[in-house]
Amino acid sequence: MLILVIDTCLGACQAALAGGGRVLAGASEPMQRGHQERLAPMTAEVLAEAGAAPADIARIAVTIGPGSFTGLRVGLAFAKGLRFATVAELAGIGTLQALAGSGGPRAAGVIDARRGQVYLQAFEAGRAVMAPDVLPLPIAAARLAELGGGFDVVGPGASLLADFVGSDRIVERAAPSLAVLVALAAKAEPAADLRPLYLRAPDARPMAS
């Protein structure tokens, strides 16, 4: 089964094609903006490198957040559009779980949520031990301590917790690794529909008339 993985939630545009439990082709480009313009060409390049066509894709897995409001909508919209064109099954991957996959057996995904807060979710042996949440820094640190501590803290917000968990536990990553995304994509449950995981409302507000 060929699996296409898409990630546009954080500071990179990423696509990979996997089969037989390994990455056949992949691309990752750091960017804060421009995912919408780059994602389709990148996907075509990855398919071409692997010698595959869109019709060969059996599953499309996409990160669903939390992350950049614009970025995750870009990835979801593209994945859903491609699904209708290929009749592939669709599956979602939590961004925090994907980040935590680059840590040890006890790891937490952390994303800077601004305003002195982080998006946080902790895992033990790949199993979630808390729901994804948005928390002030001291409360996020206290939550990890309540869960027994000893977590590797992974993600673009990891360094914000260095004073609380120790710098030796910090793993700064701008985006999840393709290898982890592919592994999670193979195990993800197919979904009839996917919705973005928003843990708080966007900063933008409509102007008063």
Distances (CA, A) of 48 to 5, 131, 137, 208: 15, 38, 44, 48
Question: Within this chain, do residues 23 and 9 fall inside the same structural domain, yes or no?
Answer: yes
At 41 the three-state DSSP class reads: helix
Instruction: Give residue 198's pLDDT.
Output: 87
User: Domain count of the chain?
Assistant: 2
Sign of the alpha-carbon torsion through 133, 137, 142, 144? positive
Asked if pLDDT for residue 206 goes beyond 70, the answer is no
171 pLDDT band (50/70/90 cuts)? very high
The enclosing domain of 58 has a CATH number of 3.30.420.40
Instruction: Give residue 201's pLDDT.
Output: 63
Q: How far apart are the first and last CA of the chain?
A: 52
Q: How far apart are CA 194 and CA 186, in angstroms?
A: 17
pLDDT digits (tens, 9 = 90+) for 62-73: 999 999 999 999
Q: How far apart are CA 50 and CA 41, in angstroms?
A: 14
In a domain, 162, yes or no: yes
At 200 the three-state DSSP class reads: coil
In a domain, 204, yes or no: no
pTM of the prediction?
A: 0.93
Buried residues in 188-207 as b, exposed as e (16+ CB within 10 A): beeeeebebbebeeeeeeee
Contact 185, 89 (CB under 8 A): no
**Residue 95, both tokens:** 């961004």
Question: Within this chain, do residues 78 and 179 fall inside the same structural domain, yes or no?
Answer: yes
Question: Within this chain, do residues 16 and 58 fall inside the same structural domain, yes or no?
Answer: yes
Question: Within this chain, do residues 112 and 65 fall inside the same structural domain, yes or no?
Answer: no
Distances (CA, A) of 116 to 112, 134, 181: 8, 10, 28
Note down the domain range covering 89: 2-95+175-187
Question: Within this chain, do residues 158 and 64 fall inside the same structural domain, yes or no?
Answer: no
Task: Residue 33: count other Cβ atoms within 10 Å of its Cβ.
Answer: 12
Q: How far apart are CA 160 and CA 156, in angstroms?
A: 9
Instruction: Give residue 203's pLDDT.
Output: 53
pLDDT digits (tens, 9 = 90+) for 13-30: 999 999 988 899 999 999
